[in-house]
Amino acid sequence: MSSFHVLLVGIGGFFGAISRLWVSQFISKRFVSGFPAATLIINLMGSLLLGIMVGSGIKGGLFMLLGTGFMGAFTTFSTFKLEAIQLQLDKRKKDFILYNILSYGGGILLAFLGIELGSLFR
């Protein structure tokens, strides 16, 4: 990987992390509950957007910037796992199951949909 690609990933990551913070705060202000809606929505959005990028054939430096950098920082697998564990520890079994089904199942479905949508732009 060239130093230019590293720079692209870093720039994309910077903007992806800031975007995640902004979207998370926006959602959390509107959906006040113990359910981790912000992380769920961000990760589902990320699945769809990354699918669109893959389906449209974005490669090289642009994919490093948007796919690896921006989407890598925008979505958050570690926060998802931590919140799922917290639901389990709080004995919120229904929320735990719903969160996992929506996160995994919805993410896979939206990534597939994104690939299909992205292929329309080829």
Helix runs in 1-122, H state only: 3-30, 37-55, 60-63, 72-74, 77-89, 93-100, 106-119
Per-residue pLDDT averaged across 75-98, rounded? 96
Q: Taking the model in full, what pTM does it have?
A: 0.94
pLDDT in tens, 7-20: 999 999 999 999 99
What is the band of 94 on the pLDDT scale with cuts at 50, 70, 90?
very high
**Both structure tokens of 44:** 């589902």
If DSSP codes are grouped into helix, strand and coil, which group holds residue 53?
helix
